[in-house]
Amino acid sequence: MGFFDKFKKNKRSIVGVPAFLQITINGQTYTIDTTSTSGMKLAAVWRCVDIVSGTVASLGIDIERRIGKYWQVDEKHPLELVLRLKPNERVNSFDFWKAAIVEMLLHGNAYIYPYFTPTGEVSRLYLIPNGACIYDSKADTYEITDEMNNLFTTCQGWRIVHLKNLSLDGGFTGVSTLTYAQKVLGIGGNLDSLQLDSFASGSTLHGFISGDSNLTQGFGAPQDDQLKSVKDSITKQLTSGAKIFTLPGTMKFNQLSLSPSDLQLVESKNLNVLDICRFFGVHPDRVFQSSSTNYKGSESAQTAYMTDTLFPLINKIETELTVKLIPNQLLGQLRVKFDLDDYYIGDLGTKADYYTKMVSAGVLTPNEVRIREGHAPVDGGDSAFISCNVAPIDSAKIKGEPTTEEPIKKSRKK
């Protein structure tokens, strides 16, 4: 295979965002920069990316071992430290996973290179920067040229942790969210530009110059070249921020107000934020778009964000990490799992109610709750408790029949 054949082959596998996009709005064509840097200049995009990536990075990641019919965190497993605290010698776990999700959302793919020890254990994880990894979907190989982490190698598909955004080629590569939202981002950028132009010089007046209808005796109507000269002079004064300017006696400045289409364009900025939120799966409340103060509504939005956006994303990450970092012979015994307890528990009142119900149902012991809250265990706190206010539906207590304890109590009285 020649050099140019290899280049063509690799080029087919690259999925990116076009640098520029042309769209037409109200008959006028605009050229829009659609790179990730440009997209992040929009407040709604920046906030959505920050929320999704920050939420995932805030969740703890554990290695769980199967014991009988339940799974338990294996705190002594070497991978536990790598996933939860220190992926490599340069970054901590929060920065690592936040950067990985940002790569996936803005560039479509996040490539993670795991470093295996001679014994087959994962000791470090490296996030490959954008553009430093090329995936050949036909050969299922990754070509890495990462100067930042000093990695230059070609790996088989099973060797690289590949986090993909929404895919269009059967799940082999992801496509950036910015690619799907090109038109929406273009409209948002033009709305910001329109707002900037409007307030650049203190909300500059708009209007036109005309001849005064009351002409002075001995003078004719102003000519076109005279009107143009006065127009240029007035424009220069307005854009410079001048508050007072002069006009010749035979001319008049006619101020123009915003047209209905201009007003609608400004109001549509709120609708543009909603469209951006739809692309990223983030509720408008989380980007401070909605002014609703309904606590129940915010709580429902939190739950919807978890079930519709966050849960599919973390399930994708869990599955990819499990199949790429756990040996095949241990897939049924070990797994990677996110800790979602802290996400569901919002305020202190909700947390207290949650722990009360879990302890009264025998799911958690008092010491397990104390350990989660950073308190030392107490004597007798390892016992599980359960409420005695319920009984089996076919029990003697429900049917009203005497229990075995009643004769014993009567005999004691005698």
Mean pLDDT for the stretch of residues 234-242: 65
Whether the Cβ atoms of residue 88 and residue 124 lie closer than 8 Å to each other: yes
3 and 48, same domain (yes or no): yes
60 and 76, same domain (yes or no): yes
The pLDDT tens digits of the residues spanning 278-312 come to 888 888 888 777 655 565 666 677 778 888 899 99
Q: Please check whether residue 212 lies inside any domain of the structure.
A: no
- How many of the other CB atoms lie within 10 Å of CB of 158? 9
| Distance (Å, whole) CA 125 – CA 89 | 9
**Which of 288, 323, 344 is a domain's end point?**
344
- Please give the tally of structural domains in the chain: 2
What are the structure tokens assigned to 171, written together? 């799940």
* Per-residue pLDDT at 114: 95
161 and 279, same domain (yes or no): yes
**Which of 324, 344, 364 is a domain's end point?**
344
For residue 11, pLDDT beyond 80: no
Report DSSP state, residue 142.
E
Whether the Cβ atoms of residue 109 and residue 36 lie closer than 8 Å to each other: no
Closest by CA to 388, choosing from 408, 368, 362, is 362
Mean pLDDT for the stretch of residues 102-116: 93
* Per-residue pLDDT at 1: 44
What's the pTM?
0.69
Q: Which residue has the tokens 């002079």?
A: 233
400 and 271, same domain (yes or no): no
320 and 358, same domain (yes or no): no
Helix (H, G, I), strand (E, B) or coil at 206: strand
Parent domain of 309: 1-204+259-344
Q: Please check whether residue 66 lies inside any domain of the structure.
A: yes
pLDDT confidence tier of residue 130, bands split at 50, 70 and 90? confident
Report DSSP state, residue 66.
E
Q: Please check whether residue 227 lies inside any domain of the structure.
A: no
What are the structure tokens assigned to 90, written together? 């340069």
- Give the list of residues 6+ apart from residue 205 with CB closer than 8 angstroms, or none: 238, 255
The pLDDT tens digits of the residues spanning 364-390 come to 898 988 888 888 988 888 888 877 766
User: With 0-12 CB in 10 A as exposed, 13-18 as middle and 19+ as buried, what is 254?
Assistant: exposed
* Per-residue pLDDT at 34: 46
Average pLDDT, the chain: 75
| Distance (Å, whole) CA 196 – CA 187 | 14
Rounded to 5 degrees, what are φ and ψ at 158? -70, -10
* Per-residue pLDDT at 12: 38
- Give the list of residues 6+ apart from residue 5 with CB closer than 8 angstroms, or none: none
What are the structure tokens assigned to 78, written together? 């070497």
271 and 320, same domain (yes or no): yes
SS3 track for the chain? CCHHHHHHHHHHHCCCCCCEEEEEECCEEEEEECCHHHHCCCHHHHHHHHHHHHHHHHCEEEEEEEECCEEEECCCCHHHHHHHCCCCCCCCHHHHHHHHHHHHHHHCEEEEEEEECCCCCEEEEEEECCCCEEEECCCCEEEEEECCCCEEEEEEHHHCEEEECCECCCCCCECCHHHHCHHHHHHHHHHHHHHHHHHCCCCCCEEEEEECCCCCCCCCCCCHHHHHHHHHHHHHHHHCCCCCCCCCCCEEEEEECCCHHHHHHHHHHHHHHHHHHHHHCCCHHHHCCCCCCCHHHHHHHHHHHHHHHHHHHHHHHHHHHHHHHCCHHHCCCEEEEEECHHHHCCCHHHHHHHHHHHHHCCCCCHHHHHHHCCCCCCCCCCCCCCCCCCCCCCCHHHHCCCCCHHHHHHHHHC
For residue 256, pLDDT beyond 50: yes
Q: Please check whether residue 376 lies inside any domain of the structure.
A: yes
Helix (H, G, I), strand (E, B) or coil at 52: helix
* Per-residue pLDDT at 146: 92
Cα–Cα separations (whole angstroms), residue 121 to 77, 118, 234, 249: 10, 8, 74, 88
| Distance (Å, whole) CA 153 – CA 134 | 11
**Which of 344, 372, 398 is a domain's end point?**
344
* Per-residue pLDDT at 52: 93
411 and 270, same domain (yes or no): no
Q: Please check whether residue 248 lies inside any domain of the structure.
A: no
| Distance (Å, whole) CA 273 – CA 362 | 46
| Distance (Å, whole) CA 288 – CA 49 | 14
- The residue with greater pLDDT, 191 or 356, is 356
277 and 339, same domain (yes or no): yes
